[in-house]
Amino acid sequence: MEERLQKILSRHGVASRREAEELIQAGRVTVNGRVSQLGMKADEDRDEILVDGNPLAQTQQRVYIMLNKPRGCLCTRRDEKGRKTVLDYLTGCRARVWPVGRLDLNSEGLLLLTDDGELTNALTHPSHEVEKVYTVRVAGEDIPGAVRLLKGPLELEDGPAQAKRVRVSRDDGDRAILEITVTEGRKHLVRNLCAEAGLEVKRLIRMSEGGLELGGLRTGCWRYLEEGEVRALRRAAGLK
C-alpha cells in the first residue's frame, strides 16, 4: 500500500515526520534509485527506500518516555550553540527518540519523547485537540479581571486563541496560581494568553497531556511509559 514517504520514515524510527520532510527536501532519501520529492508516496513492501544510501531498519518495538523537563534546557535533539537539551537528561536510554511538541526554554514539566512518528503526529495535530494542563504562577494588578479575559477568546499576534478551562487554585491579591487547559500546540500559547490578559508569568509547569499525569516524577528525571499509559495516549490522540 502506498503511503507518504515521511510517514514511512517516521514509522521506521528514522525521524519525526517534520524531520523526515527535512531529509527529503535535502535530497537524502531515494526511492528505487531516484531522489525523492516532498509529497511523494511509496510502498515499502515493493519499493527500495534508502536514507543516505542505507535501507530502512526493520520496524521494532517503540519507545515511550516521560521526562520532567527542568527549566533552562531546549526541547530539541541537538543545539548548534552547544546548549543543554532534553536528551542530555536521558541517561541510560539508547533509543533514538525525539520530543513530542515543545516546552520553551523557561518552561518545565511533563514532556513526552518517543520514536513513534504516528503518535507524535497525532498528539501534535491541532484537529485532535489533545488536552494539556499547566500550572501557572502569575502576577498582575487585576487577577480576577485577567481570569475573566482568559476564559474568553483573545486576539493574539498569530490569530485568535482561547483556553479550554481556567481555574484559580490560589489567589494572593496581586499574585495567583492558575490551572490552564489548552488543546492547541501553538508556540508560547499559554504565555501569550496570559500576557494578553495582563498577567506576567513567573513559572509555568505542564502537569498533564492527553490524560497522562506528571505525578511524583522529580525534575530532571525520566521513566518509560507503561502499556496502559500508551494505549490511553493513543485513544486521546484518536488512534486505534
Which residues are tagged catalytic?
Answer: 104
Closest CA to 79 of 48, 105, 57, 112: 105
Our CA angle for 53, 90, 16, nearest 5°, is 40
Strand order in the sheet with 54-55: 34-35, 29-31, 49-51, 54-55
Helix (H, G, I), strand (E, B) or coil at 3: strand
Locate cell 484559580: which residue?
168
Q: Which residues pair with 206 in a beta bridge?
A: 109, 134
CB 73 within 8 A of CB 84: yes
Q: From residue 24, give the alpha-carbon distance in Å to each of 30, 98, 124, 201, 231.
A: 8, 18, 21, 39, 31
